[in-house]
Structure 1
């Protein structure tokens, strides 16, 4: 197994998982590497992932174009206008981690669902239409990117299934056939945190909620992963996505796959930092249950950033994520409670 750095998460060539001509033996070999990384680190770099480089470059260009606009222009599509879909722009300091503001601004996007979709009609949280900036090509390019990352997510989850000794389509048959896909554009400004703003981090210590996160990050860096021996950097590696295990995959595997805390330092590089994570999560109504062969998970509250015993969670993914997002945007959550 190659490593991105001497003491960082491993770099894995996942080409066999995305290549339809690969053999079962080749896919199993990659799955073993993912299994080892998911157990030891909860993180890995995915190389030879099959997502077109020109598509990634165009998404990055469009994201930078969006954030380069004046804040009044960006606020034409605020999250308050996205309703229960939780889509739109929030300004620097507008998102909380552990009750404290993060020093970043962001644009929330996701699968594009029309008004006739059953969950949109019902007002189910995190389902709905995106709020699109008035930038040529933005909508079509971003939707193509979401499709490409969804395909990669399915491939990586097939690798996780093989690594766990399960049939390749196991996750597809148990909650990811129609995954909840949430895309984020985050800009970490180069300007310093103003006096009086209690922001200590670009993003404070946290874990992700779902199954798998696929992150593109620019060359500025700042991502840090907590290990049993302390914090280590997960620096940018060109041509890769940084992938990490979410809470639900940790829960489903009884802790074999680790949802590991991570954070982003305040940006002091002198230039803005861009990161683009896509969260590949179970369908909203999926009842979270252990995978075959998973033993009962042990109380893990002592090692978790929030002190919660993840292994005791019972319910649907919708139950879990709804409880989480209300803490990230409490003001917006209060407004939505009135409807």
Structure 2
């Protein structure tokens, strides 16, 4: 897929019926598109990629002080080979941050997903990182809420139809990502769909992101200043399958080239339950239900759906923080009916 064949959506066009129709077509037929005129300049996006590059240049000792193994909330640094997708290790180095929150005391936990709530880990060796990334998080959160509301309008429902699931601010998760060069093309990140409402990706000039379309893997070429947007599984569920969450992956770069990107995931509050929107008859007739994967079933309760993904992706963190009582009992109650693989002895999640 070249740049011209992936839909390009202008935020400025979404005040018109024609722009909304283009957005509806891109989100329902492809599930991926470029977003331009979103309010962040190409220079700003490049500055954030440069900031990411500086973070990964920190020494291993400095990065290990904020390793995710220290966070029961799945935040912090992951070395290459620390995260799994589709049951295989990814060849990527990354830094994860989410909403800044206060962790609940163990006796306050009533649901296992509540353990996801907590503070981020920030490197003392790079004090500028925290304010810069929290600012980016705020800006992208605002863009994502506006785009979600425009998608609702494009579906013929109230633009505020999903606002109640967002609360005062959406649940967000973001990553700085470095894909080091490999001898041959390997799994930078394996084929998957994203679990939230919307994902934004800031790409550098190195290609590698691929989208599955009509049974073929096609390239998503970088366009300076554009955000790559993909529809997540929550929106596929909310639209009863009318909107399309699409498989995608990243192949590792070769020949001494590295790839840098920033991924931003926006979803509903962890306490929310995703509603099914009442689409107009002409769209409802085309909504055939969300796609299903028996090995990774979708859950309408957002917190458990998010936690399920974290537990599978980061088994070392799972073993460290989720295999003690009474958490094992909470996990068993939440996931007992799901046919999923063992993460560690005594836990089925």
TM-score band, normalised by shorter chain: 0.7 to 0.9
- Asked whether the 8 Å contact 2:42–2:224 carries over to 1, the reply is no
Aligned to 1:97: 85
Equivalent position SS for 2:271: coil
Aligned length: 315
Cα distance, 1:309 vs structure 2: 8.0
Which residues of 2 match residues 213-292 of structure 1 at below 5 A? 213-292=199-278
Q: Pick from 301, 312, 324 the counterpart of residue 327 of structure 1.
A: 312
Correspondent of 1:37 among 8, 14, 26: 26
Deviation, 1:170, is 1.7
Question: What SS does the aligned partner of 1:106 have?
Answer: strand
Indicate how the Cα distance of structure 1 residues 245 and 120 shifts in structure 2: closer, same or farther if over 3 A, else same: farther
Per-residue displacement from partner, 1:209-258 (whole Å, max 9, x unpaired)? 01100110110110000012411111101110000001111111111101
Given the alignment of the two structures, is residue 161 of structure 1 paired with residue 149 of structure 2, yes or no? no
Alignment of 1:107-122 (within 5 A): 107-115=95-103, 122=109
Where do 5+ consecutive residues of structure 2 fail to align?
325-349
Question: Which ranges in structure 1 are unaligned for 5 or more consecutive residues?
Answer: 18-25, 194-198
Call closer, same or farther: CA 1:206–1:308 in 2, change over 3 Å: same
Return the match for 2:120 from 118, 123, 130. 130
Q: Secondary structure at the match of 1:125?
A: helix
TM-score (norm 2): 0.83
Is 1:51–2:40 an aligned residue pair? yes
Given that 1:114 and 1:128 are in contact with CA atoms closer than 8 Å, whether structure 2 keeps it comes out as yes
Change (3 A) 1:252 1:308: farther
**Which stretch of the first structure deviates more once superposed, 288-297 or 28-37?**
288-297
Secondary structure, aligned partner of 1:315: coil
Q: How does 1:52-201 map to 2 (within 5 A)?
A: 52-83=41-72, 85-115=73-103, 122=109, 124-133=114-123, 134-175=125-166, 177-192=168-183, 200-201=186-187
Q: Could you tell me how far 1:272 is from its partner in structure 2?
A: 1.5
Q: Distance in 2 between matches of 1:239 and 1:130?
A: 28
RMSD over aligned Cα atoms: 2.5
Report the secondary structure of 2:312's partner residue: helix
Change (3 A) 1:176 1:201: farther
In the TM superposition, what is the alpha-carbon distance from 1:91 to its structure 2 partner?
0.5
Match of 1:21 in 2: none
Q: Secondary structure at the match of 2:187?
A: coil
CA contact (8 A) 1:222 1:267 kept: yes
Contact kept? 1:66, 1:135, Cα under 8 Å: yes
Preserved CA contact (<8 Å) 1:86 1:125: no
Which residue of 1 is the match for residue 291 of structure 2? 300
Assess, with a 3 A threshold, how the Cα gap between structure 1 residues 191 and 215 changes in structure 2: closer, same or farther.
same
SS of equivalent to 1:264: strand
- Single out whichever of 28-37 and 224-233 deviates more from structure 2: 28-37
Aligned to 1:20: none
Contact 2:211–2:248 (Cα < 8 Å) also in 1: yes
8 Å CA contact 2:178–2:261 kept in 1: the answer is yes
Q: Give the conservation status (yes or no) of the 8 Å contact 1:190–1:268.
A: yes
Conservation of the 8 A alpha-carbon contact between 1:217 and 1:275: yes
Aligned counterparts of 1:254 and 1:207: Cα–Cα separation in 2: 16
In structure 2, the residue matched to 1:5 is 3
Q: CA deviation at 1:99?
A: 1.2
- The structural deviation recorded for 1:290 is 0.8
Q: Is the 8 A contact 1:10 1:43 kept in 2?
A: yes
